[in-house]
Structure 1
Amino acid sequence: MASRRRFLAGLLATGLAPLPTWAEAGDPSFLSAARTPGGDYVLVGLDDAGAERFRIPLPARGHAAAAHPTRPEAVAFARRPGTFAVVLDCRNGDVLAQLNCPQGRHFYGHGTFDGLGDLLFTTENDYRAGQGRIGIWDARRGYERIGEIASHGVGPHDLRFMPEGTLVVANGGIDTHPASGREKLNIPTMRPNLTYLDVDGNILDHIEPDHHQASIRHLSVRADGLVGLAMQWQGDSATAPALAATHRRGERLRYIGDGAELSGYVGSIAFSSDGTQLAITSPRAGEAQVFDITTCVVVRRLHESDICGVAASGTMMMLTDGRGHVFDLAKIEPRIAMHELMWDNHLVEIRRA
């Protein structure tokens, strides 16, 4: 055994050893945080059939995750206003690194790798200044924090890479502070925005929704750069405007759907793999809706309690709910699996480079 270890170490030193891949973690297609019946928190890998490929303990409730594009590694983020993010080896559950926010910060539950997986970008709150920041971590050097840029807004929640390698950030506009838990401190004056940045933090475009109480929370990006955004209304849900939209740089927002019909809350959003459809979910309304992008007409609905997670892979449009169900809207009978878990808000596609 010692000889084998020395042999492998020699191969690694020369760069000849095969690098680990997602196949060694069971070849999952999606990640989701969940809670077990016993109250423990876990990160789970799911395959295209909705079957569990791995389950890894988390130190507290998770929100979303970021999947490395080549290595079987996932970064699991605490639910806002959490301060932990753990880098996990999805083959065996080992903790490879612990990301700690600088003093006076907390994470917002989301992060994204660049296209090669060299750098990780995380949404953060500088709650002393009441401003959003984007943390930058070097995945090649043990996830060392190497810098940060301004999000150019308050409450950056989600962020994604654009096809050309720039960033798009959902600044929700809501100021929070850990001393106040999840209390929203500035609803009368909030100003959400969608901001496009280069990796040096320079603004490329910036747009605000028509209604200042429509907090932009979640994003999906199509292969040609069209952005889908999901919003959450901070007023009376019965009077909520449309809370989903698409956007292209230099243009106006194109609104989709009926916010009041979704109880003023869109929890997740995802383009289909071919880009012709856009799915949104509302756990408060217990409904998922799929829109034709060209006509903005609803082409499918699914009524399920506490449905929220949504992501696409191949021909699939996979969804999860808080009762442990997994659905595929590409099928006539969409329910494809059931687990003794309470799925959390987000289902994350594992996109291989």
Structure 2
Amino acid sequence: QTDAAREAAETARSIGEELGDEELVASAGAAVVGRTVRRSRTAAAPASASAAAPAPAAAPDPHEQAVRRLAKKKSMTAKEFATASGFGEKKARAVLKELVAAGHAGQFKEGRVQRFWALSSGARPDIGLPAQVMTVAARIDANGAAAIARDHARSKLLGLIGNDEQLARVVLSYRLLYKVDFRETVERSLLHRVVGAGTEERLGSLYFHPHTLDVLTFSREGVVFAPRPAERASEVVDLDGFAAFAEATAAELPISETDYRARRSEKDVARETKTRFGAAPVRVTDVFFPLWEITLQRDGGAGYRVVTIDALVGRPVSWPAPA
């Protein structure tokens, strides 16, 4: 074990020398020297049956410093990483390739250039997401979704016609909504105009589907999308006042990448807020809504059916897919 640990420390020191990382070289060198001294002292001292052998010091992770450098920016090209590391671009590409293979880094193509990012950052620069995103907090867990799935499973009619369905799996996914904070001026009722100002200013939020730009309404009956569910933006009944919101790490969320990449622009949704409701958009932000996708099977896998429910009240929902 001592020889293996010493070999690992020497390997780390070698990699540190290649990277030009003095800290890594020093720590690896100390580990090697420390083991050599301990070995000499152990050989000179009389053996003791009761004395426990000293535990070898852990060799430094040869990738740690490289990951730290990579994490200083959202993403880097090989050239940028080479500049930050102080060595050539060829060596930078080799190191980045090692980081990807070891599961420390991800890569994506931007135009003609390959970019790399540290997975430990929690961000998803490959699809344009920061480390922290806002989500609607799920109220139904996997066990609850499975129980609801059994309620949706079909059985033979009178025990003779059709096929029994069994639960195959339940999968949690998060879908994008555009949250638009707005400000609108509303005319007050005749009675209120007699005793006060004729208009009042209201603030609120709307939630738009990112592809159809339909507006979300929500109740205990579930989620419904409509182009203009109310005359005034402030009259739309949605998630506000019912759902809880929480920040989450983007890299840890099961986000539908296809759904996110196909989104309309924030300018489009801001324009629709003004056009449909006469309300002034103040801010547009991403919010991710939790859905359970329930797969039911029949005849041992001869056929499948998918039922999607929201993770708030567990009602079936028709969530439009990208066109």
TM-score between both structures, scaled by the size of structure 2: 0.22
Higher helix share: 2
Higher strand share: 1
- Computing the radius of gyration from Cα coordinates, the structure with the larger value is 2
TM-score between both structures, scaled by the size of structure 1: 0.21
